[in-house]
Chain A
Amino acid sequence: MDGKFIKFGKNLVTTDEFVAEGHSFCVGCGEALALRLACKALGKDVIIANATGCIEICTSPLPVTSWRVPWIHTLFENTGAEISGIEAGLKILMKKGKMPERDIKCVAVAGDGGTSDIGMQALSGAFERKHDFLYLCFDNEAYMNTGIQRSSATPYGASTTTAPAGKLSIGQTTWKKNMAEIAVAHDIPYVATACPSYPFDLINKVKKGGEVKGPAYVHIFSPCPTGWRYPTDLAIEIGRLAVETGIFPLYEVENGRYKLNIDRPKLRPVEEYLKPQGRFRHLLDGEIAKIQEHVNEEYAKLKAKVACFAA
């Protein structure tokens, strides 16, 4: 930790690494990059509660740890509750004078399964009770750690091991659960989507989410070469394509007000995003057209929400 920065145009990025080298994320993992950047945004005055999942497994093999910030993992589905206890605990200990007053960010980290499936209830409870915490969902769109099983965040048409494409199936037959919108529905002060292909945007959002008083949620698109079956050097491009096709738009919702951070006048065709990925390889033109139609619709809805709040 030397507190130095590297300058990228107007953006400064710390050289401090809060997740040490020697972690066991897969080769070319987009999530590992997203985590690295998010932790840079958070800095050292943080306590992280991590749900079971790729990040947990790849960073904490006893008797060693990758973490250079205080970190705790207990279970899969309870991260919302655990961070509630951490936040309430710190607050009351400071209030009672048992701990010096200081700013410690309480941050929960989980995957898409740990968030939009099994951890939803605990997270909803924590949002509703308005604890002061930031929740980071690293979304690699399936249960990757256990071997690419479908989750409610798996996109339509993707082949996974529990919703495989076959003679009678296209794989996932349901549309991806919109977790960011579910967070918005809890009327929390800050919700954002981010992608490591846009590192400064990601860093800014995580920083903002950490600084906001009350619950904040950042949904981070995390390309997975292993589960999505694309070459290990493509994480950044896949992320960019997801954003530029409108499949994963980058937006923020501050106190209920929507703002698109990247808005292309014309979206790229979804095919460009789907093609390089093995999980979509089986899709025929009809299905691709269906996905295109859905993306157009969802994107239009999002733009309408943004327009609602335009000055």
Chain B
Amino acid sequence: MTEKRLKTGPDFIWRDMEVGNIVTEAGSAALRRTGDWRSQRPIIDKERCNKCGLCWLYCPDVAIKLLEDGYYETDLFYCKGCGICAKVCTREAITMIEEEEE
């Protein structure tokens, strides 16, 4: 994941405010990392995965991405580690592991 930066803090001066504080760049919050909230992370076992997509469907954080081969991967830049994906997986293909474990 490439390092993304936002113009905030000392870089952002009052002249940078758009009229009426309007944000003209749609979806710009996608630059924000929420992966660092995580205390546990999902590990997807490709062997068990049947590409059903339920993990993708139920993820509140849009942190499961569909790959070209039809499998799914977690986007750890965003994944907050809630564990919903592991819970809804009918094949037990997703395990949550503690963040400090490698």
In the complex, are there CB atoms of A and B closer than 8 Å? yes
> What residues of chain B lie closer than 8 Å to A237, measured between beta carbons?
87
Contact A64 B32 (CB under 8 A): yes
Interface size class of A (residues with CB under 8 A): 35 or more
Instruction: Count how many chain B residues have C-beta atoms less than 8 Å from C-beta atoms of the other chain.
Output: 44
List the B residue with the shortest CB-CB distance to A237: B87
Contact A21 B61 (CB under 8 A): yes
Residue from A21, A62, A196, A233 within 8 A of B82 (CB atoms): A233
Contact B66 A22 (CB under 8 A): no
Say whether A20 faces chain B, with CB atoms less than 8 Å apart: yes
Can you list 14 A-B pairs, Cβ within 8 angstroms, ordered by A?
A: A6-B57, A8-B52, A20-B29, A22-B31, A22-B34, A23-B32, A27-B38, A32-B61, A33-B60, A63-B23, A64-B25, A65-B23, A68-B27, A233-B83
Contact B33 A236 (CB under 8 A): no
- Additional A-B contact list (5), CB under 8 Å, known A6-B56, A234-B87: A21-B75, A64-B32, A233-B84, A233-B87, A236-B88
Say whether A66 faces chain B, with CB atoms less than 8 Å apart: yes
Q: How far is the CB of B77 from chain A (nearest CB, A)?
A: 8
> What residues of chain B lie closer than 8 Å to A15, measured between beta carbons?
66
Contact A24 B34 (CB under 8 A): yes
List the B residue with the shortest CB-CB distance to A58: B29
> What residues of chain A lie closer than 8 Å to B96, measured between beta carbons?
233
Contact B8 A27 (CB under 8 A): no
Say whether A61 faces chain B, with CB atoms less than 8 Å apart: yes
Contact B8 A63 (CB under 8 A): yes
> What residues of chain B lie closer than 8 Å to A232, measured between beta carbons?
81-84
Say whether B28 faces chain A, with CB atoms less than 8 Å apart: yes
Contact B28 A65 (CB under 8 A): yes
| Residue interface mask A21-65, B partner, CB < 8 A = 1 | 111110111111100100000000000000000000001111111
Say whether B63 faces chain A, with CB atoms less than 8 Å apart: yes
Q: How far is the CB of A201 from chain B (nearest CB, A)?
A: 13
CA distance A236 to B87 in the complex (A): 8
